[in-house]
Structure formats: structure tokens, C-alpha cells
């Protein structure tokens, strides 16, 4: 299973939110490149980079951070947050993203998102299926839709999506464990999906359990920054 550390960016700094609340922000490092290099130094190959300013502004903002990390590491970066247009998408790819994650756009403008799947293929476009009480949330998690997460994922798998990042917002930043039951149900009902679990991971044991139930990858954020999971421990999994 792929191990994907997360770097969330606000004002050019590495931060983490609690349950997506911009008012509950912790700054962990003012130099995201330094953090990315620390991941690479223990053998990590992948990075989940989120432009939280972009998510709020509804257009890409922190692409210079992406450009710097992509230019000075060999990490394969998936980038999300504020990608709402063809121009945003091009900026992300031109700045070094290997994959982009679309969440709000997949809800608000499905025609555009489907055109990206057709144009770039399902190895470059990831569906962001972030949910609260199993309802899809959009606009940097500030707005909850009426869409149920599992039918939402299934509808896009039918349209050609392969990779899906599913974050249970109620778990994100809480260090209380991931949504095993939800992920198991998604995998049971959507056989071909490559599911990337995100939110709540606190231990190597939980990572192993996510692998056992069939997740293709796991995104880890706060557990690393708070020292619950040591980078040296991830070295054996990377």
C-alpha cells in the first residue's frame, strides 16, 4: 500500500486544520519544502499537497509552493485545492503535479470534471470524495451537499474514475482512527476503485488494517506532525 504524507498550505506555511475548520489552525513549519525533503529522506515517494487558500478562494493560489517542492524533490505530488477551471488545471500540471484532485468541481461542474477525465485519463485525475455524516462536502469543506458519498463515488467510477481520495471530515485531525467501516463499504460496493483513505490515522497498526481491507493508499497528516507516527517507522513501509 502506498504511504502518502500530507502537506496543507495556508499563507505559504505547512498547517493542519481540525475537521476542516480554518479557525482551528496549527502551523507546523513555515517551510513546506523542508517538510517534503524530510519525507523524501526516509524513502517516501508520494506527497498529497493541498492548497487550503485555493480551496477557500475557489482558484489555485499556492502553485509556487508546488513548483518549489516538485523542482527540488523527486516526490510524486498529487495536488488539490481550488482547481476549478482548465487554467487552474494547467497551472497545477505545469508547476509539477503528477496528479490533481478535484472535489468541489466534481459536484459543482461535473461536465468540466468529466472532460478532464477524458482528456488526461484516470491515472492523472483523482476524485476527491470528502464527506461529513456520509454527505459530500465542498468549497474547502465549508459547504455540505445533499449527495451521499457512496453513490457519488460509484457514479464517477462509472464515468471512468479510478483513484478516489475519501476523507471523513469528522475524523480529520482528530487522531481518533480512520473510518474503517465506511471504507469497507465503499470497497464492497465499488469493486474497481483504487481507494485512498484519509483522515484520523494514528498508528502503523491502523495503516496495516487499511491495507488489509483493500485500500490502495493512505494519506497521513497530523499523526506525523504530532509525533504519533515516526517517520522512521514509515521508512519500513515506504
Catalytic residue among 8, 53, 88, 168: 8
The three cell numbers of residue 124 are 492523472
- Interatomic CA distance for residues 190 and 23, integer angstroms: 35
- Interatomic CA distance for residues 126 and 211, integer angstroms: 19
Q: Is 8 assigned a catalytic role?
A: yes
- Interatomic CA distance for residues 125 and 122, integer angstroms: 5
Catalytic residue among 53, 78, 88, 130: 130
**Helices and strands (DSSP H and E) totals, the chain:** 11, 13
End-to-end Cα, the chain, rounded Å: 9
Q: Which of 71, 158, 74, 160 is nearest to 124 (CA)?
A: 160
Provide the 8-state DSSP code for 48: E
Report the SS3 class of residue 2: strand
The three cell numbers of residue 143 are 459547504
- Distance from the Cα of residue 15 to its chain's centroid: 14
**Distances from the Cα of 137 to the Cαs of 12, 59, 126, 197, 210, in angstroms?**
24, 17, 16, 16, 23
Contact 130, 103 (CB under 8 A): yes
> Hey, which residues are catalytic here?
8, 130
Amino acid at each position: 500500500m502506498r504511504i502518502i504524507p500530507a502537506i496543507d498550505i495556508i499563507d505559504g506555511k505547512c498547517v493542519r486544520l481540525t475537521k476542516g475548520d480554518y479557525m482551528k489552525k496549527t502551523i507546523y513549519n513555515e517551510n513546506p519544502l523542508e517538510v517534503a525533503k524530510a519525507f523524501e529522506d526516509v524513502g517516501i515517494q508520494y506527497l498529497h499537497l493541498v492548497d487550503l487558500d485555493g480551496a477557500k478562494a475557489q482558484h489555485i493560489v499556492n502553485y509556487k509552493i508546488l513548483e518549489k517542492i516538485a523542482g527540488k524533490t523527486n516526490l510524486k505530488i498529487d495536488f488539490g485545492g481550488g482547481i476549478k477551471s482548465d487554467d487552474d488545471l494547467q497551472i497545477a500540471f505545469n508547476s509539477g503535479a503528477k496528479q490533481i484532485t478535484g472535489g468541489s468541481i466534481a459536484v459543482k461542474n461535473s461536465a468540466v470534471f468529466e472532460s478532464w477525465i477524458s482528456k488526461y485519463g484516470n491515472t492523472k485525475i483523482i476524485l476527491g470524495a470528502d464527506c461529513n455524516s456520509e454527505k459530500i462536502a465542498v468549497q474547502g469543506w465549508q459547504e455540505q451537499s445533499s449527495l451521499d458519498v457512496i453513490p457519488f463515488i460509484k457514479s464517477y467510477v462509472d464515468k471512468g474514475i479510478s483513484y478516489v481520495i475519501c476523507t471523513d471530515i469528522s475524523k480529520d485531525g482528530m487522531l481518533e482512527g480512520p473510518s474503517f467501516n465506511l471504507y469497507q463499504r465503499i470497497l464492497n460496493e465499488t469493486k474497481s476503485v483504487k481507494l485512498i483513505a484519509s483522515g484520523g490515522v494514528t498508528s502503523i497498526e491502523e495503516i496495516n488494517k487499511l491495507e488489509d481491507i483493500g485500500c490502495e493508499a493512505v494519506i497521513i497528516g497530523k499523526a506525523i506532525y504530532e509525533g504519533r507516527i515516526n517517520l522512521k517507522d514509515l521508512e519500513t513501509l515506504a
